[in-house]
Amino acid sequence: MTSRSVAVIDYGMGNLHSAAKALQHVSPETKVIVSANKDEILECDHVIVPGVGAIRDCMGEIKRLGIDAVISQAIKTKPVMGICIGMQTMLNFSEENDGVHCMGIFEGEVRYFGTDLRDEQGEHLKVPHMGWNNVYQREDHPIWNNIADGERFYFVHSYYVELANQAQSIGSCTYGHPFDAVVARDNIVATQFHPEKSADAGLQLLKNFLDWDGGLS
Amino acid sequence: MALAKRIIPCLDVDNGRVVKGVNFVGIRDAGDPVEVARRYNTEGADEICMLDITATHENRDTMVHTVEAIAGEVFIPLTIGGGIRELEDIRRMLNAGADKVSINSAAVFRPEFVKEASQKFGAQCIVVAIDAKNVGPEKWEIFTHGGRKETGIDAIEWAIKMESFGAGEILLTSMDRDGTKNGFDNDLTRRISDAVNIPVIASGGVGTLDHLTDGVKEGGADAVLAASIFHFQEYTIQEAKETMRSAGIEMRV
């Protein structure tokens, strides 16, 4: 099954066009919309929660526009994917901006890498974590189809996800210490990296998402 | 395994055409930035940087169309620089599909612009370009207008200030080395890389693949930017990555 339509939720936080263009590229026959409209979003059979920027602004806009209600509706009925800050909005809480309560779709918190992050050799690591890093597959999942274990994806973030339930962590990355790079439960999946900026591996992952029924059919 | 160092080929574009003579075998139109970007993507570039070298008002629309065309088929990060002076310039480029913008002289004229841009669009998409010249022992200053105009600003202090104003990354060009093919100014790169906690891209002076390695090992750069060695197919990006990896640098290959 390939998606007939996918909504990229537009809550005013930056560049959503990359995600939309990448989705259209991997699936030319799929209708890709960028929208904040509840009905338009819920009419689609796949939903993407993207985002860049800071968490307080993101959560502020999500609440102001009623997007939280749209997302909680969507996760009952269709495959939903969070990307980067879109992933972080799905946790309980983020340390960013002096602490922000998020949607709590996954149990866990979002933490700061800190200013004294070091690798195994004791070398100082810069923050943000920016660039291509390896992602190791901890659990089988349809999102990993045709993607090599340890493949590199493009990250840009200063805060990372720490899940309470590690069984939901299906992909792990290490920057100073291991963190949860891909999380999944039921029909929901989320990535800390940007698949829409991760060349062939990222495009494959987006295609896998569009091909995924979320286990709902 | 760990975070890879990045190789960023840079295209200088004037009114929709790649300049400084790109000379590719097997490309239909070597002056077409979309074709060149596609080629670099296939070769394994980690990001692409495109600079609008004239950046006139009339050229702006052409640049937006070029960015749209590249973003529609090249799915790696894309940085756009040249003539980024207002928040509206940034918004247009991001909406066209750019992931980051590079701010150069506008930051020197009005440093608060960097702060406003970072608050509005997020630090992750704000690159501050620093053009520096050596002016004495262990001393570098910022120059504008392609290295012709001195500002009296200390390059290291400037980098620290730009980080505090919300820059997400620094694109550091040595005006002494640019175009020489003698290698990066690794002293300068090291001083700035050690002074800030954000990634630093080394630029200016690459003539051999060993220069790229030196930029990371001696200069402490997080990414290396080069133009002519890739444009003229002296080396492919794959060769550059293999060379750097053989030298013990973590690369995406």
B 208-247: CB under 8 A from A: 222-223
Q: Coil, helix or strand for A59?
A: helix
Alpha-carbon distance of B84 to A23, in angstroms, equals 29
User: Which residues in chain A are contacts of B168 at CB distance < 8 A?
Assistant: 128, 130, 156
CATH number of B6-246: 3.20.20.70
Where would I find the beta strands (DSSP E) of chain B? Answer: 6-14, 17-18, 48-52, 78-81, 100-103, 126-136, 139-144, 149-154, 169-174, 200-203, 223-226
Active site residues of B: 12, 131
Strands B78-81 and B48-52: parallel
Mean pLDDT across B145-149: 80
Strands B100-103 and A169-175: unpaired
B42 CB within 8 Å of a chain A CB: no
Q: Do residue A15 and residue B94 have CB atoms under 8 angstroms apart?
A: yes
Interface predicted TM-score (ipTM): 0.93
Mean pLDDT across B241-246: 98
Nearest Cα to A10, choosing from A49, A60, A54, A68? A49
For chain B, the domains span 6-246
Let me know: does B206 contact B231? Beta carbons within 8 Å. no
pLDDT digits (tens, 9 = 90+) for B20-53: 645 555 555 668 899 999 999 999 999 999 999 8
Instruction: Return the structure tokens found at A208.
Output: 């896998």
**Confidence category of residue B245, pLDDT binned at 50, 70, 90:** very high
Instruction: Return the structure tokens found at B239.
Output: 């060769």
Q: Which of A130, A152, A202 sits opposite B252 (nearest CB)?
A: A152
Task: Kindly give the residue spans of alpha helices, DSSP state H, lying in chain A.
Answer: 17-26, 38-43, 55-64, 67-77, 85-88, 199-211
- pLDDT at position A87, please? 97
Least confident interval from A11-25, A164-178, B150-164: A11-25
> Rg (Cα) of chain A, in Å, rounded?
16
- Whole-number percent of chain A with pLDDT over 70: 98
> Which one of A1-10, A93-102, B47-56 scores highest in mean pLDDT?
A93-102
Mean pLDDT across A104-127: 93
Alpha-carbon distance of B119 to A170, in angstroms, equals 33
Mean pLDDT across B219-230: 93
Higher pLDDT, A44 or B19: A44
- pLDDT at position B47, please? 98
Q: Do residue A17 and residue B199 have CB atoms under 8 angstroms apart?
A: no
- pLDDT at position B20, please? 65
- pLDDT at position B28, please? 56
User: Which residues in chain A are contacts of B169 at CB distance < 8 A?
Assistant: 130
CA distance B210 to chain A (A): 22
Phi, psi of B131 (to 5 degrees): -100, 115
Let me know: does B96 contact B68? Beta carbons within 8 Å. yes
Q: Report the alpha-carbon angle B44-A191-B241, nearest 5.
A: 20
**Confidence category of residue B59, pLDDT binned at 50, 70, 90:** confident
Half-sphere exposure of A84 (CA within 13 A, CB side): 28
- pLDDT at position B53, please? 84
Q: Report the alpha-carbon angle B100-A181-A184, nearest 5.
A: 120
Q: Do residue A52 and residue B124 have CB atoms under 8 angstroms apart?
A: yes
Nearest Cα to A89, choosing from A115, A63, A65? A63
Q: Do residue A14 and residue B122 have CB atoms under 8 angstroms apart?
A: yes
Where would I find the beta strands (DSSP E) of B175-222? Answer: 200-203
Instruction: Return the structure tokens found at A33.
Output: 């919309």
CA distance A75 to chain B (A): 28
- Is the bond preceding residue A128 a cis peptide, omega within 30 degrees? yes
What does the longest C-alpha to C-alpha distance in chain B come to? 48
Query: What angle, 0 to 180 degrees and rounded to 10, lies between the N-to-C axes of helices A17-26 and A199-211?
Result: 70
Q: Do residue A128 and residue B124 have CB atoms under 8 angstroms apart?
A: yes
User: Which residues in chain A are contacts of B121 at CB distance < 8 A?
Assistant: 14, 52-53
Q: Do residue A132 and residue B122 have CB atoms under 8 angstroms apart?
A: no
- pLDDT at position A15, please? 66
Mutate which of B75, B93, B224 to test chain A, going by most A C-beta atoms within 10 A?
B75
Residue A173 annotated among the catalytic residues of the structure: no
Q: Is B248 exposed, middle or buried (0-12, 13-18, 19+ CB in 10 A)?
A: exposed
Q: Coil, helix or strand for B68?
A: helix
How does DSSP classify residue A144? G
Alpha-carbon distance of B179 to A116, in angstroms, equals 37
Domains in chain A: ranges and CATH: 5-99+107-211 (3.40.50.880)
Q: Is B189 exposed, middle or buried (0-12, 13-18, 19+ CB in 10 A)?
A: buried
B248 CB within 8 Å of a chain A CB: no
DSSP string, A156-199: EESEEEEESSGGGEEEEEEESEEEEEEEEETTEEEESS-GGGSH
Start-to-end CA distance of chain A, whole Å, equals 10
pLDDT digits (tens, 9 = 90+) for A194-214: 999 999 999 999 999 999 999
Task: Kindly give the residue spans of alpha helices, DSSP state H, lying in A108-159.
Answer: none
B180 CB within 8 Å of a chain A CB: no
Residue A102 annotated among the catalytic residues of the structure: no
Alpha-carbon distance of A27 to A203, in angstroms, equals 10
Q: Do residue A203 and residue B168 have CB atoms under 8 angstroms apart?
A: no
**Confidence category of residue A13, pLDDT binned at 50, 70, 90:** low
What does the longest C-alpha to C-alpha distance in chain A come to? 52
Q: Which of B5, B72, B99 sits opposite A197 (nearest CB)?
A: B99
How many residues are recorded in chain A?
Answer: 217
In the A/B pair of chains, how many CB contacts fall below 8 A? Answer: 97
Q: Do residue A17 and residue B197 have CB atoms under 8 angstroms apart?
A: no
Q: Name the active-site residue from A84, A151, A157, A173.
A: A84
Instruction: Return the structure tokens found at B253.
Output: 């290959």
Mean pLDDT across B154-163: 98
Whether residue B18 is predicted with pLDDT greater than 90 in this model: the reply is no
Long-range contacts, A118-123 (Cβ 8 Å, 24+): A118/A176, A119/A176, A119/B2
Nearest Cα to A170, choosing from A199, A139, A136? A139
Q: Which residue type is seen at B194? A: D
Whether residue B120 is predicted with pLDDT greater than 90 in this model: the reply is no
Phi, psi of B78 (to 5 degrees): -125, 120
- pLDDT at position B27, please? 57
